[in-house]
Amino acid sequence: MRIMTRRVAGLDAVGWDGKARAEVVEVFDALAPEWHTRSSPQRTAVVLDAFERGLGGNTVDNHVAIEVGSGIGSYSALIANRFDTVLSVDVSAEMVRHAPAGPTYQVLADSGLLPISDRSADAVIAINAFLFPHEVARVLRVGGTLIWVNSSGEETPIHLSTEDVVTVLPFPVDGRESRAGAGTWCVLRRTG
């Protein structure tokens, strides 16, 4: 997953393709039935901290959020508390099938080709999920926010440092990063 994370982000020469997608889907389809065992109050606290300290009291422009790599929706309800409309996108049919019906739209799709129009998102939220920098650039409006969370910090299989995230994004940002327990997060506002 480390290698794939860097490939997807454009930090490795080999990128994302159909073969990579098939491999990833196979892995996560198999993990879907037991994915709920990975939830914990500590992991939830990392996401809440990113929202509370990263977004702060900013609720004015929190209309449309895209949750990429949403899995079984462990954090979807938390996201729905902050945004009016949330698309929870996952490429694994089994993950989507195991997600309980909730307050977000669950979409089976590839985050590398999001089924939404240009600059239509106020936020893109990636919790332990791959970062497709150019697709984020396409869908996130200027002034919108990328929320990047690694529940187990540097030990998270799908992990990038804030420095790597900022490096691969093809647009300028400002924002903040922090730690919460074992987790790490950064909340980056698109400035141009």
Ligand X SMILES: C[S@@+](CC[C@H](N)C(=O)[O-])C[C@H]1O[C@@H](n2cnc3c(N)ncnc32)[C@H](O)[C@@H]1O
- Residues near ligand X (CB under 6 A) are 24, 28, 68-71, 74, 89-92, 95, 110-112, 127-130, 158
Amino acid 173 reads: V
Distance in Å, CB of 35 to ligand X, minimum: 6
The residue among 80 and 95 lying less far from ligand X, judged by its C-beta, is 95
The residue among 114 and 188 lying less far from ligand X, judged by its C-beta, is 114
Distance in Å, CB of 67 to ligand X, minimum: 7
Return the bridge partners of 176, or none: 187
Alpha-carbon radius of gyration of the chain:
15
The residue among 95 and 191 lying less far from ligand X, judged by its C-beta, is 95
Return the bridge partners of 65, or none: 86, 123
Q: Quick count: other Cβ atoms within 10 Å of Cβ 81?
A: 12
Distance in Å, CB of 25 to ligand X, minimum: 7
Is 123 strand, coil or helix?
A: strand
Q: How does 19-37 read in b/e, with b if 16+ C-beta sit within 10 Å? A: ebeeebbeebbebbeebee
158 phi/psi in degrees, rounded to 5: -95, 90
Distance in Å, CB of 164 to ligand X, minimum: 17
The residue among 74 and 184 lying less far from ligand X, judged by its C-beta, is 74
